Amino acid sequence: MPHTPQHDAIDLSVRGVSKHYTGFTAVDQLSLDVAKGSFFSILGPSGCGKTTLLRMIAGFIAPDDGDIVIGGQSMRDVAPNRRPVNMVFQHLALFPMMSVGDNVGYGLARRGLGKADIQRKSEAMLERVGLPGTAGKRIDQLSGGQKQRVAIARSLVLEPTLLLLDEPLGALDLKLREHMKLELKQLQHEIGTTFVYITHDQSEALVMSDQVAVMNKGRFEQVGTPQQLYYQPASAFVAGFVGNSNRLEVSLSGAGEGVAASGLPLRLAAQHGDASGQQALFIRPETIALSRREADVAEYDNRLSCRVETLFFDGANSTVQVRDARYGTPLQVALPHTGQHADLQPGETVYLGIRAEHAKAYRE
């Protein structure tokens, strides 16, 4: 039975947690609640403090301030091996000389379970992660994706309240990573264990998570669903980090009006009221309408006449880079999946339409 997250119950509560190193704050008064049964990602660039936070949850590092509560219990005096958590590392840390079954059963053996129980539980867990009948194989007989699943089975068999995953797909090649992120989400959904997943890869976080905390310089910029982060980014950092955007430096001349650094006048979403001054403006490539006929964009708030520069095609998506004919501002526009405009030629003139609500300005 697929598991339904129970959003009323909280499995992990991080309460005002900080970690300082000499002259440097790696984690700065962070708080968050992770709902039972959810897939929660902590997303941020290298060095933002996500590993430090995860290691504090696991108990490998002690916070300088604040508390970590797992399953309703403060972890302040609880050693890592006594916490109801388990961790999956990028480099998996499987025992290559041992069989798949012995790897999965390792933690159970350390807990003193009998041989028959270990075998039964390990085989059942291998089946749940899609590897039935592999208990007798050696680790080096498995593919990268299968090893990944063994590492997860080895953690899940101990029935932790939380599974902590530290960039577990980072070492895989692109194709396998794309495949594993769908599998991992499906597996979490079926098993229902709460996953806390750290990654610097925004597409992984968007695809897999129920909730994402976007982290920057030791703080959370925004905590929300993937859709909230994508459609209502709370800051310039989130708007720039999550998904693709055209970014323009603008000076706002009044509510809902702005001028890009290149001189291009724009009507903007009035989300910052009477804000003025220098701001970063974000326009997603897929929100821009493009046509060879000027009349097609007549009713848009912003209408630009542009020259086509380059077409980028990566199979799933086509993007065209254009430049505003009057002000020289470069913009990227996603082309429709119907193949329309796939024949655009460099030097051609096209007309763009941008709605004010799709041009969002943020003070940095």
Q: Which is nearer to ligand ATP, 129 or 215 (CB)?
A: 215
φ, ψ at 46 (rounded to 5°) = -55, 135
Q: How far apart are CA 212 and CA 201, in angstroms?
A: 12
Q: Which is nearer to ligand ATP, 200 or 284 (CB)?
A: 200
Alpha helices in the chain (DSSP H): 50-58, 100-110, 115-128, 144-156, 174-191, 202-208, 226-231, 236-241
Q: Which is nearer to ligand ATP, 162 or 333 (CB)?
A: 162
Cβ at position 161, least distance to ligand ATP in Å: 23
Q: Which is nearer to ligand ATP, 30 or 320 (CB)?
A: 30
Residue with the closest Cβ to ligand ATP? 51
Q: Take residue 183 and report the two structure tokens written for it.
A: 């599998």
214, 238 contact by CB (below 8 A)? yes
349, 360 contact by CB (below 8 A)? no
Cβ at position 86, least distance to ligand ATP in Å: 19
Binding site for ligand ATP (CB under 6 A): 21, 24, 26, 44, 46-52, 200
Q: Which is nearer to ligand ATP, 46 or 338 (CB)?
A: 46
Q: Is 341 left (phi over 0), alpha (psi -120 to 50) or beta?
A: left
Q: How far apart are CA 243 and CA 289, in angstroms?
A: 18
13, 170 contact by CB (below 8 A)? no
Cβ at position 216, least distance to ligand ATP in Å: 10
Cβ at position 36, least distance to ligand ATP in Å: 25
Q: Take residue 17 and report the two structure tokens written for it.
A: 């947690």
Residues contacting 192, CB < 8 A, separation 6+? 3, 5, 37
Cβ at position 41, least distance to ligand ATP in Å: 13
Cβ at position 163, least distance to ligand ATP in Å: 18
Q: Which residues of 212-221 are buried (b: 16+ CB within 10 A; e: fewer)?
A: bbbbbebbbb
Alpha helices in 192-332 (DSSP H): 202-208, 226-231, 236-241
315, 285 contact by CB (below 8 A)? no
Cβ at position 28, least distance to ligand ATP in Å: 11
Cβ at position 45, least distance to ligand ATP in Å: 7
Cβ at position 202, least distance to ligand ATP in Å: 13
Q: Which is nearer to ligand ATP, 46 or 345 (CB)?
A: 46
Q: Which is nearer to ligand ATP, 52 or 245 (CB)?
A: 52
Q: Which is nearer to ligand ATP, 47 or 114 (CB)?
A: 47
103, 165 contact by CB (below 8 A)? no
Three-state SS at 278: strand
Q: Which is nearer to ligand ATP, 51 or 134 (CB)?
A: 51
